[in-house]
Copies of this chain bind each other. A is one copy, B any other.
């Protein structure tokens, strides 16, 4: 047995840094999705771990032999599916530093600098986004916005229990994220008590009148309306729910309002986008993921609480190994489910500093401008029609010949493996999605992508849907 010495780490570390730089430089020449069948990667691996250690050079070589040919390249310029999950040099190197320090921040006392940097950068981001004052000082970094929703429901239940409460009901829109279903289930709230409120036809925004009616009906039926999860930028089409109207209803009804702005929230760093948060001052909690559009890499999700007391009440536990607490300290233990805590704040700190307000705004605006440009090409093509508003980096559109033609187009484009698009459904109809905003996706690469999609559309053989 042999631990890698610092000098060996220097040597192998350089090789890894070069490997990543080479990977990024060569990414555009790789297929964006792998051609391997299920099981093909596993077939390259032995059934058991080796008896004796292998040289690091062999491990690194297997990145090219095993990993790269089996990977969907989320940083590829042709990756236009889902939402971009952006990263950056400063974020990647901050992850490296955090791994090297390998501290554990369950309490202030176990990692004081990490705790204070997390508190400070949470406030930096709140200021950049002009979040309501109530959220300042009350931010925490979690792995994903799925966890943010879960924590919000836990806090909501803790608050509701003060008054005694019946079976709980949670509300979100038809297009609210699947993680809301999961979070409700974790609390023991069955899918039947997760209300999917209808949305407006074009904007896909939640209908507040319908929400109010459902809350009233549920209360009359002896149920306890627990929480509304409104969305700023749905996964399907980036719809923005009307927070102002929803917030009024939640305040009147004493229902917790959580706002899931996982993808789109960071757009508010640009003042012209702050309309997305109109009414947010009425929310009890709010999540947004810098790891999607804000260059930090997975995982980095911020959740803010207007009043974190119910969360702390639910999460604070005592044990001999958690005793070293004190005033004027932030013990993130009380803000999360796991005891262990990685130093995720380091990469957010690095990214916010490396780009500055100006750089972040320019990056976000580039994504929005790319989407606008793309939308103009789609509008100018008589074979297609836009299917939803595109306030952020995502454009949803339809093949006018119908769903069959759209599905065929998607299959043909993706089969080529130079681009990767995803789809969604809206009112039972099939939509294609193109997500700009990735750091490798430029106006030029997007133009080339659209030309390819347009040419591929010429090959679509599916006849028009019967009218």
Q: Is A461 an interface residue (CB 8 A)?
A: no
- Which of A212-220, A318-326, A381-389 lies on the face that meets chain B? A318-326
With contacts A113-B41, A144-B338 known, is A359 near B17, CB below 8 A?
no
Q: Is A53 an interface residue (CB 8 A)?
A: yes
Residues of B near A358 (CB, < 8 A) are 1, 51-53
In this complex, how many residues of chain A approach chain B with their Cβ under 8 Å: the count is 146
- Which of A202-210, A243-251, A273-281, A421-429 lies on the face that meets chain B? A421-429
Interface majority SS (helix, strand, loop, mixed), chain A: helix
Let me know if A99 and B89 touch, CB within 8 A: no
- Mark out the residues of chain A between 323 and 363 whose CB falls within 8 Å of any chain B CB in the assembled complex: 326, 328-329, 337-340, 342, 346, 349-350, 352-363
**Closest 5 pairs (CB-CB, A-B):** A4-B89, A70-B113, A13-B17, A20-B100, A1-B359
Among candidates B23, B90, B144, B423, residue contacting A340 with C-beta atoms closer than 8 Å? B144
Let me know if B42 and A317 touch, CB within 8 A: no
Let me know if B100 and A24 touch, CB within 8 A: yes
Copies of the chain in the assembly? 2
Among candidates B6, B34, B90, B317, residue contacting A112 with C-beta atoms closer than 8 Å? B34
Q: Is A439 an interface residue (CB 8 A)?
A: yes
Shortest Cβ gap from A67 to chain B (Å): 5
Can you offer 15 A-B residue contacts whose CB atoms are under 8 A? A1-B363, A4-B89, A9-B17, A9-B24, A19-B97, A36-B112, A36-B113, A38-B326, A49-B356, A56-B90, A71-B112, A96-B96, A182-B317, A185-B314, A299-B340
- Which of A114-122, A372-380, A398-406 lies on the face that meets chain B? A114-122
